[in-house]
Amino acid sequence: MTELPIHQVLPQLKIALSTGTAAVLIAEPGAGKTTQVPLAFMNEPWLKGQRIIMLEPRRIAARSAASYMASSLGESVGETIGYRVRMDSRIGKDTLIEVVTEGVMTRMLQDDPELSGIGMIIFDEFHERSLQADTGLAFALESQGALREDLRLLIMSATLEAESVAELLGSAPVIVSKGRAFPVSTHYLRSLGLDEIHRGTAMVIHRALAEQQG
């Protein structure tokens, strides 16, 4: 497996959530937090066979993250890794990690405040902030405080004022992972009319594949 920046802080993150019930992870884009962190916690003793729920703000991102994690295990989506989004669900009886969107998360918390069978909730891309994500966190904190002292909560973000969120989580530890920087160059092509945009996009992709590496 390719070494990603997030791998360097996973031991620290595991310690934080084995000795406490909340943490904040700040990881720059490209660090690997979305696809590597949930997998790292699958076999933690405190999880005890319960599921991990990861909140993704957008449906495409939820499906993509689930697909990538499943392929890294040599499986199809719906086995160990699944997702639930509006009007689309791929989970099974053996699913341990569910990637869900905000509306799904809110309904789960409303239908079952105790969050039976769920050992950990990960709020990914929390810096995007939305009413549903904030409501979901409020419900999760209420459940943790009143019904589920064992429930783990992890806030993940690329850019966030971590201290205020950490304080909200009861002075939770803040762990920082560096990303990877790549050189970027900008190339301009002639203007395309609306009727040419698809052909032009295909042309640019073919050119990039032919001229660039990686």
pLDDT of 195: 73
Question: 32 in helix, strand or coil?
Answer: coil
Whole-structure pTM value: 0.81
pLDDT of 1: 58
pLDDT of 53: 95
Q: What is the dihedral of CA 153, 157, 163, 164, to 10 degrees?
A: -70
Q: Which domains does the chain have, with CATH numbers?
A: 5-177 (3.40.50.300)
Number of helical H runs and strand E runs in the chain: 7, 8
Consecutive sets of 10 residues in the chain, 214 residues long: mean pLDDT of each?
85 95 90 93 93 92 95 95 92 94 85 90 84 82 89 88 84 85 74 76 87 78
Q: What angle do CA 64, 127, 145 make, to 5 degrees?
A: 95
Could you give the C-alpha distances from 77 to 60, 65, 73, 166, in angstroms and in order? 14, 10, 10, 33
Looking at the chain, list the stretches that DSSP marks H as alpha helix, in order from N- to C-terminal side.
Answer: 10-19, 33-40, 59-72, 102-111, 131-146, 162-168, 197-211
pLDDT of 47: 93
Could you give the C-alpha distances from 212 to 51, 180, 181, 183, 207, in angstroms and in order? 41, 18, 17, 12, 8
